[in-house]
Amino acid sequence: MKLTLRVWRQKNADAPGTMSTYEVDGISQDMSFLEMLDTLNEELILAGDDPVAFDHDCREGICGACSLVINGDAHGPERTTTCQLHMRSFEDGDTIDIEPWRASAFPVVKDLVVDRSAFDRIIQAGGYISAPTGTAPEAHAAPVPKPDADFAFEHAECIGCGACVAACPNGSAMLFTSAKINHLNVLPQGAPERETRVLDMVGQMDSEGFGGCTLTGECATACPKGIPLPSISAMNKEWLRATRKVRR
């Protein structure tokens, strides 16, 4: 395959960026999207140019590092991570636009790499449980009803990639935050911090400068792990409950 790539190039956080056009040839349909970019970068390095910076780590769809907006879609046209997107989703001769996640809470570091430490700070605000360390507890010590376990697991699937923020017209982190809160709040292990968790994580989310939810549903459409839109409603319910409880 021969492709035309229009890639966002930006030297550093303060420099202005622009879309630059590149031609790549000899791309196989079986390559992943990132392998296609590796090919481009090899050519750029050979030509003595600066390679395109992009985030990646596991390349297995589990770490949440890869983060590209491809033709206006976070993670591209398939519902998967950028690393698990393959070139068979494109046609020979296509022009592909590649941009970084856009949100003021995710500033661009270089080219396609953005700083997502705002997510880490949301997790630090309450995305943990208090548990004694040491030997692993007996697995059956805290029984969890099957529907609750399923609900927790569905939300535990979130890999913190930030596609939800990138897709949202308001740069909102509600889907991510709701996934993390719902995951822990439904489990007995998460019960001691149930109220403070939701209040603190939502508070941190607000102070990081993420936008609010207007229920456009773009986040859930983009999420590679299928975190559903009603998760946000479940978080709202927890938040409203906590505002009543904590004051008592």
Partner 1 sequence: MTRTLWDSSLGKKTVMAVSGLIMLLYLVVHMIGNLKIFFGSGEFNHYAHWLRTMGEPFLHYEWALWIVRVVLVAAVVLHAVSAYQLSRRDIRARPAKYVHRKPRASYATRTMRWGGIILGLFIVWHILDLTTGTVHPGGFQSGHPYQNVIDTFSTWYGNTIYIVAMLALGLHVQHGFWSAAQTLGAGSATRDRVLKTIANALAAVLTLGFICVPVAVMTGVVS
State yes or no: residue 57 binds ligand FES (CB under 6 A).
Answer: yes
Restricted to residues 155-214, the positions that interact with ligand SF4 (CB under 6 A) are: 158-164, 175-176, 179
Closest to ligand SF4 by CB, 85 or 163: 163
Residue 117: count of CB within 10 angstroms of its CB? 13
* DSSP structural state of residue 192: G
Residue 243 in tokens: 């505002």
Q: Which does 59 bind (CB under 5 to 8 A by kind): ligand HEM, partner 1, ligand FES, none?
A: ligand FES
Residue 221: count of CB within 10 angstroms of its CB? 14
State yes or no: residue 214 binds ligand HEM (CB under 6 A).
Answer: yes
What's the rounded Cα separation, in Å, for the pair 103 and 122?
16
| 3-state SS, residue 164 | helix
| Piece in contact with ligand SF4 (CB under 6 A), picked from 4-12, 30-38, 137-145, 152-160 | 152-160
State yes or no: residue 227 binds ligand SF4 (CB under 6 A).
Answer: yes
Restricted to residues 78-107, the positions that interact with ligand FES (CB under 6 A) are: 81-83
Residue 58 in tokens: 């596991």
What kind and span of H or E run contains 237?
helix 230-246
Q: Which residues of 178-203 are buried (b: 16+ CB within 10 A; e: fewer)?
A: bbbbbbbbbbeebeebbbebbbbbbe
Which pairing describes strands 3-9 and 95-99: parallel, antiparallel, or unpaired?
parallel
State yes or no: residue 58 binds ligand FES (CB under 6 A).
Answer: yes
Q: Are 160 and 65 in contact (CB under 8 A)?
A: no
Maximum alpha-carbon separation in the chain: 67
Q: Which does 179 bind (CB under 5 to 8 A by kind): ligand HEM, partner 1, ligand SF4, none?
A: ligand SF4
Closest to ligand HEM by CB, 83 or 219: 219
Q: How far is the CB of 134 from ligand HEM (least distance, A)?
A: 45
| Piece in contact with partner 1 (CB under 8 A), picked from 21-29, 82-90, 133-141, 229-237 | 229-237
Closest to ligand FES by CB, 162 or 190: 162
Size of the chain, expressed as the number of residues it contains: 248
What's the rounded Cα separation, in Å, for the pair 193 and 127?
10
State yes or no: residue 203 binds partner 1 (CB under 8 A).
Answer: yes
Give the number of residues in contact with ligand SF4, rule: CB under 6 A.
15
Applying CB under 6 A, the residues found at the interface with ligand FES are 56-59, 61-66, 81-83
